[in-house]
Structures are given as structure tokens and as C-alpha cells.
A and B are shown apart, each in its own frame.
Chain A
């Protein structure tokens, strides 16, 4: 199949104005941190974008104090209707400045502009819009007649959907009447810092939202702070377990959205062309930096060869490169550390005997890149079938019966997502019933919506985010 040649179609960078260095956003003001600074880079070019302050325990303490004061003096006394109006303002501001956020996100994260423009930023605005409406209707949420907020919430978010994960955290926390101290990921702080500006433009009372940048120790200081009432975290299962241990024996609330090893199950009656598109969406969307990615493809044996052949043909047309080019399908890997991890697990896949294939596309000279890769002949004991790779790497396994598909799909400590591809409605419902996964996509994959609860079974975490269920995580005693 010929690959069409496209002229470059870069989105303009002129819409963003990146400062050379950023402070911390505490009590509605920019302040310098007491710790050191670190640099955030564009992973597509390794260009340094800005110096970022690493908040230390004293900075976290200041932020918590600001959040506590804002909670007790302002936010907890405000009507739900007024809290909602602030959230509506924020939603509108995000929409107004959507292109700026999209370009900045692509620069700092490496993901393609078509995804930040069409997925990350619109969904982030939608999360604020959805939760805004809940703020004065919480008594109708089925979580008790007069549900109460925790107070001050500490939130730690990952680098794969920086602004979207911020909105998943801040929107429900504020709607339910909590104030927040949020730490963005160390490699992707810029959109969270721009969001602080949005809070100022919305005239959000000082201290309701505090943004403390930093790395692991900053996050630990938030988790351990005695005046934080609830922790919300999205990230790896390893860190999630550490947080669960840290808060054990306290009365802190917690929600954890952790790792996954999603099974994408293809039955022999599936519509093949649609399925191939769904497989691509499942594992190559956002470079595979998705906790709910369909990273294990389970194909019925009778069609495995055909599906693999058509998938490879489709992958040959994927365009890997400049995240700001509107034609780009797959962008840069977020960091060198992540690239090393993907490389190492892929080498383990080969060493353990799986067959490696990639689409052979050219890669830019600078930056962090990995070709869309497919492993066939994978068995359940292979590391690439058990461990989360968090990159554009698909492991293909086969099955003969629906029972075998379900057994293999559930054979993991994770339980976040799964996909089912078949033309038979009753088989969809039977399979969905059997799967131990918090989100199941039938004949589709990687769909997200603020009204739809997201979160996993087993070691994929505690609680749900989004929808009515997501509110429970921010209201005392309701989950």
C-alpha cells in the first residue's frame, strides 16, 4: 500500500508564550519555591522549555495552609450555585484559550497536536462544565441527603494527559466543596501552570487551587501532610501501593487510578476493518502512554493471521514525527526514562521468544522516539504480557474459545480496561459480564466522557473518576 506524501502542516507556536522560569502558585500568587529548580524539555527536540521550581515540604505546607484557610473562610461557606459558577467560568476560559493549551501541551508532552486539539483540551473543558452543574445538586447524587466535602485534598497527577488529568482531579474536588493542592508531573508542568492563570482570570478565590510543581519528594510531602484530608493520585501501581501504605492507619480518604494491561478481545465474527482501527486506537493513541491502553491483543486463532497482516499494513501508514504537525499520528515518547523502559521491555520480549515487528518508519534525529511495534507469538508468562509497557508496543496472544479468552484477559493483577470485538450482541454482554475490568469498550476503544466513571478493579486502584460515581471520592463516608 502506498504511503501518501504530505507537505508539512505545522501548527504555529506563536500562540504560546513560555516564560524562562516559573514559580509555585500558592494562595493565588506566584512565589518562589524553597527547593532547587529543574528543567522541563520538549521531548520531540530535547529543547529546554523552562526552569521549574521543585517544591519542598515547607512549600507544600504553605500551600496546605492556604488551602485550609480558603476552605474554612471562603469555599465551605459559599453556596453550591456560586461554586458551580466559578467552574462554568473555568470551563469557558479553557475553551477560549483551547488552541494555546493544545500547542503548549504538545510542546511539553510530545503528543500530536491533533490529539491535544481534539481530545485532551475539549475533554478537560467538558469535565469542568459537567462538574459545575453538580455543585448545587449534590443532595440528588444518591450519596446521602447532605453529603459533606473532605476539606483539603492533595492531588498528584501523571504526565500522559497533563491538563486532562488536572481537570479530572480539580473539577470534582471543587464542585463538591473541597480545596486542592495539586502537583503536576515533573516532565509536564506547563499546562498546569497556565491553568493557574485561568484561575486568576476566573477570579477564583485565592487558595482554592494551589499548584506545587516538583518530583517524587514533593508528592510524598503532599501524601504525608497531616492537614490533608484526602489524597487523589493517578500514576503507577507501584507508587499507588506506597501511597496506600503511607495513609494506612490514618483517617485520610484516598482514590487511586493506577496501571493496567488491558485485553482487547477479537472474536472471529468481528468486522475486521473496524477492529483494526480499534486496535490502533487502543494501543497507539497517545504513543501508548495510556493506563487503559489495549496493550494485549487477544485474537481468536482462526483469524489471527489475517488480523495481524491487516494490522501491519495499517501501521505502515502511521505517521510518526513532529507533534505540532497536524498530520502526525504518533508523537514523541514523553521522556528519556520512559523511552529506556519501553526499549528494555521490548528487548525482554525478544529475549523471551516473541516475534518483534515494527513499521520501519524514519525517526527524527533529536528527541525521544519509538516505532509502533507489534509482538506476535506472545504467551501469558512473557513480561510483555504481564507488565505495563506504557508505550506503542502491542502484544498479540491467541485463543480458541470465549472461555479461554476471558481466562486470559483476567489473568493479570490489573483490572482497568478491556475491549470486545464481535458482531454478536449476546456475546458482548456475556463477555462484558465475565471481565474483571472497570471500563469495557464493545466494538470501540479509548472513549472518554466526563459523565462516564473511569477506574479499575484489583491492583488498578480504588474508586472511580467521572460521572456520579466520581463524586463519591470527594464526599466523606459516601463510597
Chain B
């Protein structure tokens, strides 16, 4: 008997808790990072090539899921996020292999990145029931009032996931957005989408309600403009615009200005976009940018 013929995975989108192909019927070829310049790229898989309509469907799913997710207790959201880390841990080997071939790095380097990605979920799982204490406070107004400022999620956040860091970077933009009660529509790395699809399978089996995270594989240059101008999107994370051909983040920001979306600009200086260093501990601004502060005045009296 020869070696067993393996069963390969179909890589699909993740919208509203289900795994559809692109409504456009399109797919694109994903290759391993070339071992050396000029080498013939090795075919890995066909990924679904998400469309404008897929992005719109994802916004509908994200909006539908948002009140329930924001309304869950912070303790509950924390447990669900921790569960994601648990499920990722069980898939270490698969993530490590996808990161290794996609990013063209050594097995030990890939293993380290997977560890950091899982640990980052744990870090954000611990934030869910603390962010209101850190970002909110009572205000000592000069009058007979109890006055309290509390943070609330802004709603639906569209995220351009980083192009280079296909798992650690991906986790580092999704987790802060949803930890606080937002729901997300994520456009994955175009050339390295496989860890994003595997992450969506973890999310689907981690008690994360369908629609809380929606992941579209494909070309950010094609999909992002529709998300930037979408009237039912409240926040826009432009981190992943670094390294996308045919995409100017300033144009997306200008388009988002029409509905005054909250914006995370890409790293770098001036018009140049650079991918951040994902290894360092994140600033909480990735969470607080997508929060609104609500201040409530209550009179005191006998």
C-alpha cells in the first residue's frame, strides 16, 4: 500500500456564522512564499475571492449580531474570547504550518508566532471586564448630581487585516475590536489568507455568536472602498492598507469622512503606510478608538 491520499480543505468565507463561497463564484490561487527569488511558486489552495456583495452581506450579519454581543455581560465575552484561545491551542500544528508556508519562515519561528497569537487572545479575553473601569470614571461635577462616564462599543467595525503578519497581526486587529462589544467585518491578507480561514473555523466552534466576526478573503483594494463608504459601518481600521497595491488609505479615510467613521490609521509616517511590529504589547488605543463615551447625569435629592 502506498501513502494515504490526504483530504484537502476547501477555504471559504465566514459570514454570519456560516461558511459560504463568494457570491461572485470567484476564487483565486494561493501560493507558498517562494523559498528563493525566481523559484516557481508552490500552489497551496484556491481561496474564495470576496466581492462587494459579500462585504455588504457581512455588514448585515455584523449589524444583526451587534446588540446581542454588546449586551452580553463583559464576563461572558471574556470567557468566549478565552475559549477561542483554547480552541486555537488545539489547532497549533495547522496554524503553524499555514503560517510557515505562507510567510516563508522556519518552523520554530512559525511556532513562536502561533504562541504569541494565542497569548494575545488571552490578553484581550482579560480586558473585556476591565476596559470600562480603565476608560470610564465618575466626574465630580459642581452640583447635586451623580455623573458617570462609561465606554460603549461604537457598533460595526470594518478591519483591513495586515498583509504580512497572517495570524499574529490578524488576531491583533480582530480581538481588540470585539473584546469591547463591537462586531467586525474583516478583509484578510490577500496573499496569505489561509490562517484567517482556519481562525474562522476556531471562532465558529468557540461560542462566538455568528456574525460577531465575519472574514472575507480577497483583495482589499477591491473590497475596502465599499466598506469605507458603507453607511452602516461605524469604525474603520486601515492597518492592513500597508502593502496593498492600488490602495491609498487617505482615499478610504476621505470616503469614511462622509459618515464620520472612527478611524485607525495605518502605521508609518506621512502618506506612507507600514505594518506595525506585532511582537510588542499593544496599546489600548486599538480598543478605545472604537469606543464611544456616554456620560449620564443623575440628580441627587431626598
A residues lining the B interface (CB < 8 Å):
126, 142, 144, 237, 240-241, 244-245, 248-251, 256, 258, 413, 415, 428, 432, 435-444, 447, 449, 451-455, 457-459, 461-462, 464, 467-469, 472, 477-479
Whether A452 contacts B299 in the complex (CB less than 8 A), given A248-B254, A249-B250, A447-B143, comes out as no
Contact B262 A449, beta carbon cutoff 8 Å: no
B residues lining the A interface (CB < 8 Å):
134-135, 137, 139-143, 145, 147, 149, 154, 234, 248-251, 253-254, 256-260, 262, 265, 269-271, 283, 285, 288-289, 292-299
Chain B residues with Cβ under 8 A from A469's Cβ? Answer: 149, 293
Contact A438 B294, beta carbon cutoff 8 Å: yes
Which of A244, A449, A472 is close to B141, meaning CB atoms less than 8 Å apart? A449
Which of B283, B285, B289, B293 is close to A453, meaning CB atoms less than 8 Å apart? B293
Q: What residue of chain A has the Cβ atom nearest to residue B288's Cβ?
A: A479
Query: Closest Cβ of chain B: how far from A218's Cβ, in Å?
Result: 21
Contact B257 A244, beta carbon cutoff 8 Å: yes
Q: How far is A251 from B266 in the complex, measured between Cα atoms in Å?
A: 10
Contact B271 A477, beta carbon cutoff 8 Å: no
Which of B137, B140, B260, B294 is close to A437, meaning CB atoms less than 8 Å apart? B294
Q: What residue of chain A has the Cβ atom nearest to residue B270's Cβ?
A: A251
Q: How far is A233 from B294 in the complex, measured between Cα atoms in Å?
A: 20
Contact B134 A438, beta carbon cutoff 8 Å: no
- Which 3 pairs show the lowest CB-CB distances between chains A and B? A249-B250, A244-B257, A248-B253
Chain A residues with Cβ under 8 A from B283's Cβ? Answer: 144, 477
Query: Closest Cβ of chain B: how far from A345's Cβ, in Å?
Result: 22
Contact A458 B234, beta carbon cutoff 8 Å: yes
Chain B residues with Cβ under 8 A from A240's Cβ? Answer: 260
Which of A144, A237, A251, A440 is close to B297, meaning CB atoms less than 8 Å apart? A440
Q: How far is A244 from B292 in the complex, measured between Cα atoms in Å?
A: 18
Contact B257 A432, beta carbon cutoff 8 Å: no
Query: Closest Cβ of chain A: how far from B266's Cβ, in Å?
Result: 10
Query: Closest Cβ of chain B: how far from A453's Cβ, in Å?
Result: 5
Q: How far is A452 from B234 in the complex, measured between Cα atoms in Å?
A: 24
Contact B293 A464, beta carbon cutoff 8 Å: yes
Contact A443 B299, beta carbon cutoff 8 Å: yes
Chain B residues with Cβ under 8 A from A415's Cβ? Answer: 292
Chain B residues with Cβ under 8 A from A462's Cβ? Answer: 260, 262
In the complex, 29 of the A-B residue pairs with CB atoms within 8 angstroms, ordered by the A residue number, are A142-B134, A241-B257, A248-B251, A248-B253, A248-B254, A248-B256, A249-B249, A251-B265, A251-B269, A258-B260, A439-B294, A440-B294, A441-B297, A443-B298, A444-B299, A447-B141, A449-B141, A451-B141, A452-B139, A452-B141, A452-B297, A453-B139, A454-B295, A459-B260, A461-B260, A462-B260, A467-B295, A477-B283, A479-B289
Q: What residue of chain B has the Cβ atom nearest to residue A451's Cβ?
A: B139
Chain B residues with Cβ under 8 A from A244's Cβ? Answer: 253-254, 256-257, 260
Q: How far is A439 from B139 in the complex, measured between Cα atoms in Å?
A: 13
Query: Closest Cβ of chain A: how far from B142's Cβ, in Å?
Result: 6
Query: Closest Cβ of chain B: how far from A12's Cβ, in Å?
Result: 29
Which of B135, B262, B297 is close to A442, meaning CB atoms less than 8 Å apart? B297
Give 16 A-B pairs besides A461-B260, A479-B285 with Cβ atoms closer than 8 angstroms. Answer: A142-B135, A244-B254, A244-B256, A245-B258, A432-B294, A436-B292, A437-B294, A440-B297, A441-B296, A443-B298, A447-B297, A449-B142, A449-B143, A462-B262, A468-B137, A477-B283
Which of B135, B260, B294, B299 is close to A241, meaning CB atoms less than 8 Å apart? B260
Query: Closest Cβ of chain B: how far from A448's Cβ, in Å?
Result: 9
Contact A457 B292, beta carbon cutoff 8 Å: yes
Q: How far is A449 from B250 in the complex, measured between Cα atoms in Å?
A: 36
Q: How far is A455 from B234 in the complex, measured between Cα atoms in Å?
A: 16
Contact A249 B154, beta carbon cutoff 8 Å: no
Q: What residue of chain B has the Cβ atom nearest to residue A448's Cβ?
A: B141
Chain B residues with Cβ under 8 A from A258's Cβ? Answer: 260
Query: Closest Cβ of chain B: how far from A45's Cβ, in Å?
Result: 35
Contact A249 B297, beta carbon cutoff 8 Å: no
Whether A457 contacts B154 in the complex (CB less than 8 A), given A449-B142, A462-B260, A462-B262, comes out as yes
Q: What residue of chain A has the Cβ atom nearest to residue B292's Cβ?
A: A457
Q: How far is A57 from B158 in the complex, measured between Cα atoms in Å?
A: 37
Q: What residue of chain B has the Cβ atom nearest to residue A419's Cβ?
A: B297
Contact A442 B296, beta carbon cutoff 8 Å: yes
Contact B293 A451, beta carbon cutoff 8 Å: no
Q: How far is A439 from B251 in the complex, measured between Cα atoms in Å?
A: 32
Contact B145 A444, beta carbon cutoff 8 Å: yes
Whether A451 contacts B296 in the complex (CB less than 8 A), given A244-B260, A478-B285, comes out as no
Chain B residues with Cβ under 8 A from A438's Cβ? Answer: 292-295
Whether A449 contacts B139 in the complex (CB less than 8 A), given A432-B296, A478-B285, comes out as yes
Q: How far is A414 from B200 in the complex, measured between Cα atoms in Å?
A: 34
Which of A245, A437, A477 is close to B285, meaning CB atoms less than 8 Å apart? A477
Q: How far is A469 from B139 in the complex, measured between Cα atoms in Å?
A: 10
Chain B residues with Cβ under 8 A from A428's Cβ? Answer: 298
Contact A455 B293, beta carbon cutoff 8 Å: yes
Q: How far is A248 from B259 in the complex, measured between Cα atoms in Å?
A: 13
Q: How far is A441 from B299 in the complex, measured between Cα atoms in Å?
A: 9
Chain B residues with Cβ under 8 A from A440's Cβ? Answer: 294-297
Query: Closest Cβ of chain A: how far from B251's Cβ, in Å?
Result: 7
Chain A residues with Cβ under 8 A from B135's Cβ? Answer: 142
Which of B147, B253, B262 is close to A452, meaning CB atoms less than 8 Å apart? B147
Contact B295 A453, beta carbon cutoff 8 Å: yes
Chain A residues with Cβ under 8 A from B147's Cβ? Answer: 449, 451-452
Chain A residues with Cβ under 8 A from B254's Cβ? Answer: 244-245, 248-249
Query: Closest Cβ of chain A: how far from B78's Cβ, in Å?
Result: 19
Chain A residues with Cβ under 8 A from B143's Cβ? Answer: 447, 449
Contact A256 B288, beta carbon cutoff 8 Å: no
